[in-house]
Amino acid sequence: MTAKHHFPDLTDKAALRAWMAARRTEAAHKPAPRSLAEFRSTQLKKLARTMQDDSEPSNLPQDRDRPILKFALDGKTVRNHQAEASVLGDWLHTLQTAVQSVAYALDDLRQRREAGPVPGEIKRATRLFSGPVFASSYGMILQGAPDLGQTELPGSGTEALLDKAINRIFDVADGASKQSDAEEAVLEAVLPLGRRAIKQLSDLSHILASTGTDVTLTWESKSTISRTSTLTSASAARCRKALQDAKIDDTSERLIGFLVGGSKQRGFIELEIEDKLIVVRTAKEDVTGILAAHTEKEVQVDTHVLIARSPGGREHRSYVLIELQNRRSDDVSS
């Protein structure tokens, strides 16, 4: 069995040369790929193995109290362990923006309406900072913000929001990599996030698809020991197409049903309407009062609805509370 390789101290030139020589010797004993597709597959497997192996302790200077996102770029824009500056810059900027947008969509403290800029506390909680590069086609380590905790996001817990956002992006990458039903898998992960996140994730996919670049990502945090995902330029193209083809509509809708539950911690109430359970998001501080006054009663709920429809006809609805009141039994009007 091939031994795992751990990266040397990058400041020790002799150790680095010896490490690279060992890698070349190992490569010389392996059969050469017989086709371009086989070569590409081998390279992606090497990237994934490198990222996974490096999840163990190494000599890279990392702050283990901060979450770590490692990414390795490969493909047309990477040559001799160097990435084109324009592609790398666009990737990093769009990745950060996408993380913020997804985090805002998943935040339990999100405002009732999604319009307007991402709040400053969300941006601070999801900042990524550049760290060292590592041996691969082109690899870089990003770290989460230091001192991330409940003073910034009450109720969210340390790293919780950033961890949820990164894992959702990994869900999208994994879905896009499926051999069948990739479109449905992407939409399942993205549509509930709303317009802003859909656009940012579409832009992130476009960078890879349009430049012929692949990326392998590994995420490590206190909540996620290690998770690795690969997004090739081809799967990124499938992801972008699925998101671009989805039709997004905003509307208002009045719901009439029985209030049967909710969660203050997660900021929603539940309505039972004709044997269906509808989840309506609302401010956390309002949930307790609403449940105390209206549980098991028939209510009239005015909502703002985001509707996302895929070309195949799949539909997702996301409800946000505007106004709620009891509906008297003798009032049968809607």
pLDDT digits (tens, 9 = 90+) for 261-297: 999 877 889 999 998 999 998 888 899 999 999 999 9
In this model, does residue 4 exceed pLDDT 50? no
Determine which of 71-75, 135-139, 163-167 has the lowest per-residue pLDDT on average: 135-139
pLDDT for position 51: 47
Q: Find the mean pLDDT for residues 204-231.
A: 95
DSSP state string for 74-143: EETTEETTEE-HHHHHHHHHHHHHHHHHHHHHH-TT--SS--SPPPHHHHHHT-EEEEEEETTTEEEEEE
Residue 152 vs residue 285, higher pLDDT: 285
Q: With cut-offs at 50, 70 and 90, classify the pLDDT of residue 44.
A: low
Please tell me the predicted confidence (pLDDT) of residue 331.
47
Whether 301 and 280 have beta carbons less than 8 Å apart is answered as yes
- How many Cα atoms within 13 Å fall on the side-chain side of residue 320? 19
What pLDDT does residue 315 have?
A: 80
Is 60 exceeded by the pLDDT of residue 73? yes
The total number of residues written for the chain in this structure? 334
pLDDT band at residue 56 using 50, 70 and 90 as cut-offs: very low
Question: Mean pLDDT score of the chain, rounded to an integer?
Answer: 80
> Is 225 a residue whose pLDDT tops 60?
yes
Residue 269's contacts (CB-CB under 8 Å, 6 or more residues apart) are: 259, 261, 262, 279, 280, 282, 287, 290, 291, 321, 324
Q: In what order do the strands lie in the sheet with 128-134?
A: 128-134, 138-144, 68-75, 213-220, 227-231
> Can you tell me the mean pLDDT for 115-132?
86
Query: What whole-number distance in Å separates Cα of residue 108 and Cα of residue 270?
Result: 15
For residue 319, give both structure tokens.
């409800």
Phi, psi (5° rounding) for residue 272? -100, 115
Residue 13: helix, strand or coil by DSSP? Answer: helix
pLDDT digit string, tens, across residues 185-195: 898 888 778 88
DSSP 147-214: T-STTTSTTT-TTHHHHHHHHHHHHHHHHHT-SSSHHHHHHHHHGGG-HHHHHHHHHHHHHHHHHTEE
Is 308 in a helix, a strand, or coil?
Answer: strand
Residue 169 has pLDDT above 90, yes or no: yes
Positive/negative CA dihedral, 165, 170, 175, 176 = positive
Both ends of the chain: CA-CA distance in Å?
70
Pairing of the two strands 276-281 and 298-309:
unpaired
DSSP-based three-state secondary structure for 9: coil
Phi, psi of 37 (to 5 degrees): -65, -40
Whole-number pLDDT of residue 59: 43
| Residue carrying the six token digits 């309407």 | 273
- Between CA 92 and CA 102 the distance in angstroms is 15
| Of 22-26, 99-103, 207-211, 261-265, the least confident | 22-26
pLDDT at 37: 59
Is the Cβ–Cβ distance between 230 and 83 less than 8 Å? Answer: no
- Confidence (pLDDT) at 226: 94
Predicted confidence band of residue 110 (pLDDT cuts 50, 70, 90)? low
